[in-house]
Structure 1
Amino acid sequence: MTAMTVTAAAAVLVRLLVGWVFLLAVVGKLRSAARFRANLTESMGVSAGAGAVLTPVVISAEAALAFMLLGDMQARAFAMPAALALLMAFTAFVGYKYVTADSVRCSCFGEADRPLSAYDLLRNALLIGAIAGWLYWPAAAVRWTPVQWTLAAAVALLLAAGLVRLHEVIVRFRNARAAQPLPVGEAVAAVMGKMLSDGAPVMLPGVEQAVALLFLSSRCPSCRGKLPEIARLLAPATAAGLKIHLVSAEPAWRLRRFLPDELRRVTVVVSARRYARLNPMMFAPYYLFIDASGALQAAGLIGDDDWLSLNAQMDEVAAA
């Protein structure tokens, strides 16, 4: 197989891949059009009227591009340049929202109502690069049999399905390779961090005092709902001799937007590597209960039985 033939085959696969991605986006939006429209308004700041108009416009545009790309109708003259422009504009918009907003949702492929992630932006960047490469290199005609075209379409569809679910694939892979949670009963390795409020250095978990380390994420929808509950625990915890620290590796500016004043004062900012030592599974909202000797007594998701037991104890302290 010559280099020209390989290039031509790759060009066909890229065109079909982009076409399938747009078609899968159409199918996903049609299955959850109300969710997509709601996310335009609630998450991306589009007015309700504009969202009602944009939803069918976006679906129609993506459907037209999908059929043109899959059918090779004006792919080089119109469809691929239009797909590139659409992807670049959308990625720039949601990328800006991703950086500046606490949580952004899209449901662009009908996925569950999870926040937009860096892996979604990576997927778009890969597609943009593939389209740009396709437009840069000259196209060569291919003469394939129907069986070869069917095989190429199937391969492109599989690749498109993988790209559409890139976030889920990477998360599952990372979870499969992730370290085990810290073992209960063993000492928690100390890490250094800085207080969010004044930058003072602090050692976690500390010594000679029981401590609860809490792990929240500004991009975790359920974490925001836990903030009032955690703030309410601060005073009785101090009275009971329990120190509470929020631990985060997020930028300070984002944490200041996310946290109320009273929680900023107990937040410790650590590096990503040190954060992973304390919370290897990257759970949120998550807690570690560590005794005065530095041994882990309990760990779990905020809201489980051990957490509720702590709440009950703090209520008793507050009422005393």
Structure 2
Amino acid sequence: MIWLFLLNFCRLTTGLMFAWSFVGKLRDFRAFEQAVIRFKLLPSWLYRPATVLFLSAELGVVVMMLLGGSLLRWGFLLAALLLTVFSIALASVLVRKINISCNCFGPSEKPVTSYDIIRNIGFLACALGGWGAALTPQKDLVSFGILEWGLVLVVAVIFITVWTQLEEIVQLLRWR
């Protein structure tokens, strides 16, 4: 039963986080494309295709998390790949001392910091944990009742909120 909770927690967390990211970027596609350009990692002819590819892959993760079944494993792997690529891009910006915003969840003025990488590592651990849990023999997730889904949803939303606001939480705790 614990594997089922882990699997569904990771499934909801990964799906919701990528849905939030996808919607935020789609709402201002141009700002996201500008962020990709400012990262200075790709030749100019790849900016638009890369932007569309990232958004498509994020939507793909969301769809796979929703559909479940055998797609869960692939969804978790795609999520892990995206988070790894995004983390490498964030690290490269920090190493090259480029002062830009992440736009990870939509337009933002907040510059990239090491907390963005830590956040991604937390979500990466969740995606890999979900992938591992999805490898365990499971019949069907239909046996999960509404109460269990509700509990896991609350925990997933709290996890996403804490990890996406990690820098602010640390600063708040340091202030005291």
Q: Would the TM-score normalized by the shorter structure come out above 0.5? A: yes
TM-score by length of 1: 0.48
SS at the partner of 2:54?
Answer: helix
1:145 corresponds in structure 2 to 145
Q: Tell me if structure 1 keeps the 8 A contact 2:64–2:74.
A: no
Q: Tell me if structure 2 keeps the 8 A contact 1:26–1:109.
A: yes
Question: Can you list the C-alpha shifts for 1:222-266, whole angstroms capped at 9, x where unaligned?
Answer: xxxxxxxxxxxxxxxxxxxxxxxxxxxxxxxxxxxxxxxxxxxxx
Matches within 5 A, 1:51-62: 51-62=47-58
Candidates 18, 21, 32, aligned match of 1:22: 18
1:157 corresponds in structure 2 to 157
Q: Tell me if structure 2 keeps the 8 A contact 1:98–1:104.
A: no
Instruction: Return the structure number with greater helix share.
Output: 2
Q: Tell me if structure 1 keeps the 8 A contact 2:87–2:117.
A: yes
Partner Cα distance (2:117, 2:65) in 1: 22
Partner Cα distance (2:13, 2:60) in 1: 15
Question: Can you list the C-alpha shifts for 1:22-77, whole angstroms capped at 9, x where unaligned?
Answer: 11100111223222111211233434442222222211210121121133243444
Could you list the runs of 5+ residues in structure 1 that have no partner in the other structure? 178-320
Q: Tell me if structure 2 keeps the 8 A contact 1:31–1:110.
A: yes
2:172 corresponds in structure 1 to 172
Matches within 5 A, 1:53-92: 53-92=49-88
Amino acid at match of 1:98: L
Aligned length: 172
Q: CA deviation at 1:171?
A: 2.7
Partner Cα distance (1:49, 1:173) in 2: 44
Q: CA deviation at 1:109?
A: 0.5
Q: Tell me if structure 1 keeps the 8 A contact 2:57–2:78.
A: no
Q: Tell me if structure 2 keeps the 8 A contact 1:37–1:55.
A: yes
- 2:130 is aligned with 1:134: yes
Candidates 4, 7, 26, aligned match of 2:3: 7
Could you list the runs of 5+ residues in structure 2 that have no partner in the other structure? none
Matches within 5 A, 1:112-261: 112-137=108-133, 138-139=135-136, 140-141=138-139, 142=141, 143-175=143-175, 177=176
Instruction: Return the structure number with greater strand share.
Output: 1
Question: Can you list the C-alpha shifts for 1:190-240, whole angstroms capped at 9, x where unaligned?
Answer: xxxxxxxxxxxxxxxxxxxxxxxxxxxxxxxxxxxxxxxxxxxxxxxxxxx
Amino acid at match of 1:168: E
Partner Cα distance (2:66, 2:20) in 1: 12
Across the aligned residues of Structure 1 and Structure 2, the Cα RMSD in angstroms comes to 2.3
Identical-residue share of aligned pairs (%): 23
SS at the partner of 1:102?
Answer: coil
Greater length-normalized contact order (CA 8 Å, ≥ 6 residues apart): 2
Q: Tell me if structure 2 keeps the 8 A contact 1:26–1:59.
A: yes
TM-score by length of 2: 0.83
Q: 1:73 to 1:57 in 2, by over 3 A?
A: farther
SS at the partner of 2:86?
Answer: helix
